[in-house]
Amino acid sequence: MVQTNPENRMKAYLKKIAAGPRLSKDLTEEEAEDALALILDNQVSSIRAGVFLIAARMKLETVPENVGYWRALQNRVVSVRIDLDKLLQIADPFDGFERVPYFGFYAISVIAQLGLPVYGHSALPLPPKFGITFEQILQDHYRITNLEQRKALLEKHRFSYLSTADTLPKLEALRSMRTEIVKRPMLATLEKILLPIQARENILATTYFHRGYEIAFTEIGKLSQFDKVIVGNGMEGTTLFGVHKEAKVFIQDGADEAEQRSLSLKSLYREETARHIVAAHEELKPMKSSLEKIVEMGENALKTGQGAASLQIASQAGTLTHLAGMFPTAQEGFDQALAILKSGSAYDSLMNWIKDANHCH
C-alpha cells in the first residue's frame, strides 16, 4: 500500500538510505523524486529534511537517484520561452570561487558580443565555500537586487544574469538548512543543470569537481531540454577550461554517449597565444580573490583589452563559443574576443545592462 502521509513516506526513505555503509539501500528514481519534492514543498520537518540531504550524500547517489532529484527540482522551475535561436547558460558552482581571481562574470558580455546569447545562472554564495558568485558581484557591487526584469533584459541585451531566488524560490528557501548541514548536498550538483529559459536551441556549460559526477550530468543532459551539455573540470570548479591544467570535458548532445575531450592550452591555441595565457595565469595565481579586485580588473579588461584578466576572459569566451559550435577553433573565438575587449564594446554593453537593471527597481 502506498504511504500517503508525507512524514511516513520520508520515514520510509530514511530507513532505506540512512542505515550505514553496509545496510543502506538505493532509492528508485520515483522515490528520490518524491523525497526531494517533499523537502522542496515544505511537507516534512526541517530536521528530517536535513538528515535526508546528509544521508543521501553519504550513501553516494546513484544515477537513477540523481535523475529523480533533478526531476523534483526542474519540475518546480517555471521555464520561460524566449525568442532566440541559440542560448548558452553558464552555471559555475553556486558556492563560488575564492582562490585565483576568476572573471567569468565579465566574459558573459563578451560572449554575447561574439554572437552567442548567454546568461549566468547562480545564487548568492552558498556553503561550504561562500566564495564569490555572479549574483554576489551584481548585488554587493552593482547594487542590483531586483530579480523580475532580468529575463526581459536577456531578450533585449542578448545576455543576462539569473538567480535561483527568482528561477526556483523553493530551492533558495533551503539556504539556511544548507548552511547548517555544512557539507554539499546533491543540490550543489543538480542546481547547475536546471533550465529556466528556453530558446530554440539550449546549451549548458557547467562543471564537475569530483570524478564520477560527470556521468550524472551527461545522463541528465539526455533527459533535459538542453540540446547540448558541456561539462568539464575547470579552474576551481569553474567553466574556465584548460588554463590551470588539462581539462577533461564531456559533451552530450543527443542520446548517444557523451564525447570526451581533453582540453589544454596547447591543443586549443597557437603556441604564442598559449604562452600569453599561461603568463597571465601565473600573474593572477598569487593574488587573493576579492570582490574589489575582480571588479577593478574585470572592468579594466572590458574597457581596454589589457592586463591578465583580459587574457583569461578571451580564453574562456574563445573556448566556450568554440565548444558551443560558433567557431571551428578556440583560437578564432579568442582572437575575436580580444578584439572586442580592445574596442570597449563589451564594457559599454555591460554598463547599459546595469543601467537598465537599475531602472527596473
85, 11: one domain:
no
pLDDT of residue 3: 66
92, 203: one domain:
yes
Which residues, in sequence order, are bridge partners of residue 260?
250
Place of cell 529559459: 197
2, three cell numbers: 502506498
94, 136: one domain:
yes
DSSP string, 150-169: HHHHHHHHSEEEEEHHHH-H
Contacts of 261 by beta carbon, 8 Å cutoff, 6+ apart: 248, 249, 250, 251
195, 227: one domain:
yes
In a domain, 15, yes or no: yes
Contacts of 312 by beta carbon, 8 Å cutoff, 6+ apart: 102, 103, 240, 243, 277, 280, 281, 284
In a domain, 1, yes or no: no
Specify the DSSP element, H or E, that contains 201.
strand 201-207
In a domain, 281, yes or no: yes
51, 91: one domain:
no
Specify the DSSP element, H or E, that contains 244.
none
Local confidence band at 63 (pLDDT 50, 70, 90 cut-offs): very high
Whether 204 shows a pLDDT value over 80: the answer reads yes
Q: In angstroms, rounded to a whole number, what is the distance separating the alpha carbons of residues 154 and 161?
A: 8
Q: In angstroms, rounded to a whole number, what is the distance separating the alpha carbons of residues 138 and 166?
A: 14
> For position 17, which CATH number holds?
1.20.970.10
**Contact present, 109 and 266 (Cβ < 8 Å):** no
186, 133: one domain:
yes
Domain stop point among 47, 74, 101: 74
337, 234: one domain:
yes
- In the chain, % of residues over pLDDT 70: 99
157, 42: one domain:
no
Whether 144 shows a pLDDT value over 90: the answer reads yes
Contacts of 177 by beta carbon, 8 Å cutoff, 6+ apart: 46, 49, 50, 53
In a domain, 33, yes or no: yes
> For position 354, which CATH number holds?
3.40.1030.10
Domain span at residue 350 reads: 80-361
118, 60: one domain:
no
Q: In angstroms, rounded to a whole number, what is the distance separating the alpha carbons of residues 323 and 294?
A: 25
Local confidence band at 1 (pLDDT 50, 70, 90 cut-offs): very low
In a domain, 148, yes or no: yes
Local confidence band at 64 (pLDDT 50, 70, 90 cut-offs): very high
Q: In angstroms, rounded to a whole number, what is the distance separating the alpha carbons of residues 261 and 318?
A: 16
Domain stop point among 51, 74, 97: 74
Provide the number of structural domains found in the chain. Answer: 2
Of 185, 186, 170, whose CA–CA distance to 66 is shortest?
A: 186
61, 96: one domain:
no
Whether 31 shows a pLDDT value over 90: the answer reads yes
Local confidence band at 2 (pLDDT 50, 70, 90 cut-offs): low
Q: In angstroms, rounded to a whole number, what is the distance separating the alpha carbons of residues 94 and 174?
A: 13
In a domain, 232, yes or no: yes
Local confidence band at 86 (pLDDT 50, 70, 90 cut-offs): very high
pLDDT of residue 348: 98
pLDDT digits (tens, 9 = 90+) for 247-275: 999 999 987 889 999 999 999 999 999 99
Q: In angstroms, rounded to a whole number, what is the distance separating the alpha carbons of residues 136 and 126?
A: 11
Whether 343 shows a pLDDT value over 60: the answer reads yes
In a domain, 300, yes or no: yes
153, 10: one domain:
no
φ, ψ at 162 (rounded to 5°): -115, 150
270, 142: one domain:
yes
Domain stop point among 74, 99, 120: 74
